[in-house]
A and B are shown apart, each in its own frame.
Chain A
C-alpha cells in the first residue's frame, strides 16, 4: 500500500517540468534560423536578468519576439485541453471522452467565430463566447448521449462526433459567407494552429488557465470516487451535483480558452491523460497536474514539429496531433474492446 502523498505529486510535477524545460529549449533552438543551445541559454539568462542590451538583436527578436510567445501559447493550450479531457473522462466515466471528440472544441470555435463576426471590436468577446459555446455544446451532448436516463458510452461518443461535424459545417458556412473579412483561415478553426498571436495578453490568459485548473483540482478526491460510480460516490458522501457543476463549468472554460487562441486541436485531451494514467496511476490528485504539464509538453513539441518538418512552410499543429493521435486512439479503442 503506497498512498499518494503531496510529496510524491511534487516529485512527479518536478520531473515533468524538467522535461518541459528541455522541450522549450529544444523548441527555441530549431527553426528556419537555428540558434545553438549556448546562445539560447545566454539569451534566456540575460533576458531574465534584464540585460537586454547584451543580447544580439536577431536572437532577441527570434527568442523573445517570435518563438517564446508561441511556445507559451502551446503550453497554455496543451495544459488547458489535457486537463479538460481528463475532467470529461471522469465526469462522463468514459475513457474516450475529450473536448475534441465530444464536439466541445467545435462549439467553442463557433462561439469564437461568432464573436469575430459580431463583436470584432472587443478582443474579450472571443474568449467569452468560446466559453459559452463550449458550455452549451457539452450540455447538448450530455443530453443527447443519454439513453433511458443513463449515460451510454457509445451513444455519448456518437452524439459528440455528430455534434462536432454539424458545428464544423456551420463554421465552414460562416467562413465562406462572411469572408471579405479575414477570419484567420479555415485551418486555424478546423485543425488548430498556433501561428497567430492572441489579441489578449498571455499573462492574463495564464491566470484564467490556473483558475480553471485550480477549481478542478479542488474536486480531485471527489472525481476519484465519481469514477467508480455516481451512486457510490454519493453514498460515500460526495456532493455529486456540486462537483459536476464545478468541473463542467471549469472544463468548458479551459476548452474555450484553448480554442479561442488556437482553434480546435484534437487528441491532446484524449491521449495525454491516458499516457499519464499509465505512467503515474489513475488518481486524479496526481493526474490533473501531470496532465497539465504533459499536455504542455505534447503541444509545445507538436508545434515545433509543425513549424519545422515542412519548413519553410508550416503545418497547422492540429494536423500533427491528429497524425500522431488518431492511430493511438484506434489502438486504445481496440484494446478496450478486446
Chain B
C-alpha cells in the first residue's frame, strides 16, 4: 500500500507552507452563527464564538452532546454557512467566498452515509471525487483513474474496485466514501461522525487510518465524533461544545477534566491518564445507580428497624 509515485496532494500549494514551518491551514477565530425562524425573531440557536486552528497533518476533534452545534460548526468550516461574526479562513481565504468547484478542490466533506438509488460500481463512485477538476461535461482520463485507484489503496479497499455500492458492508462503504474524498485531493478533510456504524475494531482501525492519511497527505482534518476515548487517543486537539458554546478547546489532556466533562455531558464519569499520558474517560452510570440502590435499600432497612 505504498503511496510512492502518487502525486502528493497539495503539491505546489504546500511549497510556500514548507519553509514557513507548517503554518495554520484552517483558522477559526471568534466565529459565530445563528439560526432563526425569521429575520425578526430572536435566534433559535446560536453557535460560538469558537476559536481554534488546524495545521497540516493535524487532526482536530469536535466533541459535545447532541444538539451542541457540532454539525453547524462543520458547515461553517465547509463554507456552507458564512459566520455572522469572526472569521473562518482556509489558507487565508474564507471558504464561503470560493466558487463551488474551487471549494471542492480544497475541502472534502465525508458524510455519515450515502444513499444510493441506483446501483453504482465502487470505482464509478470514487471517480466522482474528480468532478471538481473537470469541465462541466467531462470524461475521466487515465490520471483520474490512477488517482481513484490510489485513493482506494490508501483506505485499504483496492479489492472493492468492481463491487457494487449497495452490496458493501457498513465498514467497506465507509472506506469507499472516504476514498472519494481523498480523490478530491483536498487540503482540508471534514468528517461527520465517521465511526457511527462501525464496530469497536473498525473504529480503532479507522482512527489509525485517518491519523496516517493526515500524515501522508498532509491534510488538516476536522472530525465530529462522540468517541471521547478515541479522540483522546488519536487527535491532536479537541473543541468541546455545549449548547452552541465552546466550553473548552486544546489538547485532549487539557480539555478532559472530570468536572468539565461531567457538566458538559450531564453524566457522572472519571478521567484517568493512561501510561502514555493520554486521558481516558470511564463512565460511572451503572456504578452510581448500584450505589444509590444500595444506599436507598440500606436506608429502607434502617427505617423499618
The interface of chain A, by Cβ under 8 A from chain B, is: 1, 3-6, 93-95, 217-222, 224-225, 227-229, 231-232, 234-239, 277, 281-283, 285
Q: Which of B91-145 contact A (CB under 8 A)?
A: 100-105, 107-109, 111, 114-120, 123-125, 127-129, 131-132, 134, 136-140, 144-145
Residue of A nearest to B161 (CB): A1
B149: Cβ under 8 A from any A Cβ: yes
Contacts of A222 in B (CB 8 A): 136
- Once the chains bind, are B118 and A277 in contact (CB under 8 Å)? yes
What 8 A-B pairs are tightest by C-beta distance, nearest first? A237-B104, A237-B101, A237-B132, A282-B118, A3-B140, A1-B123, A237-B100, A235-B109
- Once the chains bind, are B148 and A1 in contact (CB under 8 Å)? yes
Q: Given that A3-B139, A217-B137, A218-B137 are known contacts, is A228 also in contact with B104, CB under 8 Å in the complex?
A: no
- Once the chains bind, are A236 and B132 in contact (CB under 8 Å)? yes
B184: Cβ under 8 A from any A Cβ: yes
Residue of B nearest to A235 (CB): B109
- Once the chains bind, are A3 and B100 in contact (CB under 8 Å)? no
Interface size grouping (class) on chain B: 35 or more
- Once the chains bind, are B118 and A232 in contact (CB under 8 Å)? no
Q: Kindly state the separation between the CA atoms of A217 and B124 in the bound complex, as whole angstroms.
A: 19
Residue in A220, A221, A225 with the greatest tally of chain B CB atoms within 10 Å: A221
Q: Kindly state the separation between the CA atoms of A236 and B110 in the bound complex, as whole angstroms.
A: 11
- Once the chains bind, are B118 and A227 in contact (CB under 8 Å)? yes
- Once the chains bind, are A282 and B120 in contact (CB under 8 Å)? yes
Residue of A nearest to B149 (CB): A1
Which of B107, B111, B120, B145 contacts A232, CB < 8 Å? B111
Which of A218, A228, A231, A236 contacts B116, CB < 8 Å? A228
A-B interface contact total, Cβ < 8 Å: 83
- Once the chains bind, are B136 and A229 in contact (CB under 8 Å)? no
Q: Kindly state the separation between the CA atoms of A17 and B137 in the bound complex, as whole angstroms.
A: 23
Q: Kindly state the separation between the CA atoms of A225 and B104 in the bound complex, as whole angstroms.
A: 13
Q: Given that A3-B144, A282-B118, A283-B124 are known contacts, is A237 also in contact with B139, CB under 8 Å in the complex?
A: no
Q: Kindly state the separation between the CA atoms of A217 and B114 in the bound complex, as whole angstroms.
A: 25
- Once the chains bind, are A220 and B137 in contact (CB under 8 Å)? yes
- Once the chains bind, are A95 and B184 in contact (CB under 8 Å)? no
Contacts of B131 in A (CB 8 A): 221, 225, 236-238
- Once the chains bind, are B161 and A4 in contact (CB under 8 Å)? no
Q: Kindly state the separation between the CA atoms of A218 and B109 in the bound complex, as whole angstroms.
A: 26
A-B pairs with beta carbons under 8 Å apart, 10 shown: A1-B148, A1-B161, A94-B117, A95-B117, A95-B118, A235-B80, A236-B128, A236-B132, A237-B103, A282-B119
B154: Cβ under 8 A from any A Cβ: no
Q: Kindly state the separation between the CA atoms of A206 and B45 in the bound complex, as whole angstroms.
A: 54
Contacts of B107 in A (CB 8 A): 235
The smallest beta-carbon distance between B55 and chain A, in angstroms, is 23
Q: Kindly state the separation between the CA atoms of A218 and B107 in the bound complex, as whole angstroms.
A: 25
Q: Kindly state the separation between the CA atoms of A94 and B140 in the bound complex, as whole angstroms.
A: 26
Q: Kindly state the separation between the CA atoms of A304 and B125 in the bound complex, as whole angstroms.
A: 41
Mark each residue of chain B from 180 to 191: 1 if its CB lies under 8 Å from any CB of chain A, else 0: 000010000000
- Once the chains bind, are A234 and B100 in contact (CB under 8 Å)? yes
Mark each residue of chain B from 196 to 234: 1 if its CB lies under 8 Å from any CB of chain A, else 0: 000000000000000000000000000000000000000
Contacts of B137 in A (CB 8 A): 217-221, 285
Contacts of A93 in B (CB 8 A): 117
Q: Given that A220-B137, A221-B138, A285-B139 are known contacts, is A229 also in contact with B115, CB under 8 Å in the complex?
A: yes
Contacts of A5 in B (CB 8 A): 139
Q: Given that A221-B131, A236-B128, A285-B139 are known contacts, is A231 also in contact with B144, CB under 8 Å in the complex?
A: no
Contacts of A94 in B (CB 8 A): 117
B242: Cβ under 8 A from any A Cβ: no
- Once the chains bind, are B117 and A235 in contact (CB under 8 Å)? no
The smallest beta-carbon distance between B281 and chain A, in angstroms, is 32
Q: Given that A217-B137, A282-B118, A282-B120 are known contacts, is A224 also in contact with B128, CB under 8 Å in the complex?
A: yes
B78: Cβ under 8 A from any A Cβ: yes
- Once the chains bind, are A218 and B128 in contact (CB under 8 Å)? no
Q: Kindly state the separation between the CA atoms of A282 and B164 in the bound complex, as whole angstroms.
A: 12
Q: Given that A3-B140, A236-B132, A285-B137 are known contacts, is A228 also in contact with B125, CB under 8 Å in the complex?
A: yes
Contacts of A95 in B (CB 8 A): 117-118
The smallest beta-carbon distance between B116 and chain A, in angstroms, is 6
Contacts of A217 in B (CB 8 A): 137
Contacts of B140 in A (CB 8 A): 3-4
The smallest beta-carbon distance between B128 and chain A, in angstroms, is 6
Residue of A nearest to B108 (CB): A235
The smallest beta-carbon distance between A336 and chain B, in angstroms, is 10
The smallest beta-carbon distance between B133 and chain A, in angstroms, is 9
Residue in B118, B136, B140, B162 with the greatest tally of chain A CB atoms within 10 Å: B118
Contacts of A285 in B (CB 8 A): 137, 139
Contacts of B149 in A (CB 8 A): 1
Q: Kindly state the separation between the CA atoms of A52 and B105 in the bound complex, as whole angstroms.
A: 61
Contacts of B116 in A (CB 8 A): 227-228
User: Apart from A218-B136, A220-B137, A229-B114, what 16 extra A-B contacts exist at CB < 8 Å?
Assistant: A3-B139, A4-B140, A218-B137, A221-B131, A221-B137, A221-B138, A224-B128, A225-B128, A227-B118, A228-B128, A229-B115, A234-B80, A234-B100, A235-B108, A236-B184, A282-B118
Q: Given that A3-B145, A221-B137, A225-B131 are known contacts, is A231 also in contact with B117, CB under 8 Å in the complex?
A: no
Contacts of B162 in A (CB 8 A): 1
The smallest beta-carbon distance between A137 and chain B, in angstroms, is 23
Q: Kindly state the separation between the CA atoms of A234 and B129 in the bound complex, as whole angstroms.
A: 12
The smallest beta-carbon distance between A47 and chain B, in angstroms, is 37
The smallest beta-carbon distance between A96 and chain B, in angstroms, is 10
Residue of A nearest to B100 (CB): A237
Q: Kindly state the separation between the CA atoms of A6 and B161 in the bound complex, as whole angstroms.
A: 22
Q: Kindly state the separation between the CA atoms of A236 and B131 in the bound complex, as whole angstroms.
A: 7
Q: Kindly state the separation between the CA atoms of A18 and B78 in the bound complex, as whole angstroms.
A: 49
Contacts of B139 in A (CB 8 A): 3-6, 285
The smallest beta-carbon distance between A276 and chain B, in angstroms, is 12
